[in-house]
Structure 1
Amino acid sequence: MRGMQGMMQKMQKMQKELEKAQQEINETEFTGTSQSDLVQVTVNGQNEVLSVKIKPEAVDVDDIELLEDLVLMATNDALQQVKTTTEEKIGRYTKGLKIPGL
């Protein structure tokens, strides 16, 4: 019985640590940049875009596709940072487990 109770306490502690780590990730802001830092996109840990900053030299009315590519590049960079951080912080709790959404 003691072994089972101890295991339950460890699981509850781990669950609290996991929830804390997830909250930290959700509250963290990640800024992705494009080539030459012409575009910056900031997202939170919930993959919500918070801001987009575009330097004036990135805007060329004759080449809107370049600007679109820069925004896409910066957004993907920021989202990759969220994914990497989540894997680093949450991965130690979920080693080998396939939990949807984590």
Structure 2
Amino acid sequence: MFKGLGGLGDMAGMMKKAQEMQKQMGELQDELHNVMVVGESGAGLVKATASAKGELKALDIDPSIFNGDDKEVVEDLILAAIKDAQAKASDKAQEEMQKLTDGLGLPADMKLPF
């Protein structure tokens, strides 16, 4: 159909693929708000739940760690759980983006979003 147009046929295919990728990326971004990951510290005494977008959604603290003398330890455990949840959220988002690029036949090392 585009034989007489030289490389323009390829360009039209590339544009269609780019539009498809843009649509799928938008859907994935929306989906990442609903995917939850849980970060832990202190052998599960503190748990932080975050969306795959990195938004902190919940914090669960075992009451056994509350002791007036251990305030700094509790604060450290909370921070560690939140950081763990954020790292897991980032990994999950990257994993989902990788699935998208694989499905579209894009190079494995392509970083999305641009």
Q: Shorter-normalised TM-score: what interval?
A: 0.7 to 0.9
Conserved in 2, the CA contact under 8 Å of 1:22 and 1:90? no
- TM, length-normalised to structure 2: 0.75
CA deviation string 1:14-70 (max 9, x = no partner): 111222222221221221111210011111233222111111111111110110011
**Pairwise CA distance, 1:98:** 7.4
Structure 2: runs of 5+ lacking an equivalent = 1-7
Q: Distance in 1 between matches of 2:53 and 2:112?
A: 19
Letter in 2 for 1:69: D
Q: What is the number of residues matched between the two proteins?
A: 100
Structure with higher RCO (Cα < 8 A, 6+ apart): 1
Q: Distance in 1 between matches of 2:49 and 2:113?
A: 27
Asked if residue 83 in structure 1 is aligned to residue 90 in structure 2, the reply is yes
Structure 1: runs of 5+ lacking an equivalent = none
Q: State which of 59, 70, 77 in structure 2 corresponds to 1:63.
A: 70
Determine the structure 2 residue equivalent to 1:51. 58
- TM, length-normalised to structure 1: 0.83
Q: Closer, same or farther in 2 for the Cα pair 1:25/1:9, shift >3 Å?
A: same
Asked if residue 13 in structure 1 is aligned to residue 20 in structure 2, the reply is yes
RMSD: 2.0
Flag the structure with larger Rg. 2
Q: Distance in 1 between matches of 2:21 and 2:44?
A: 39
Structure 1 stretch displaced more, 67-76 or 2-11: 2-11
* SS of aligned partner of 2:43: helix
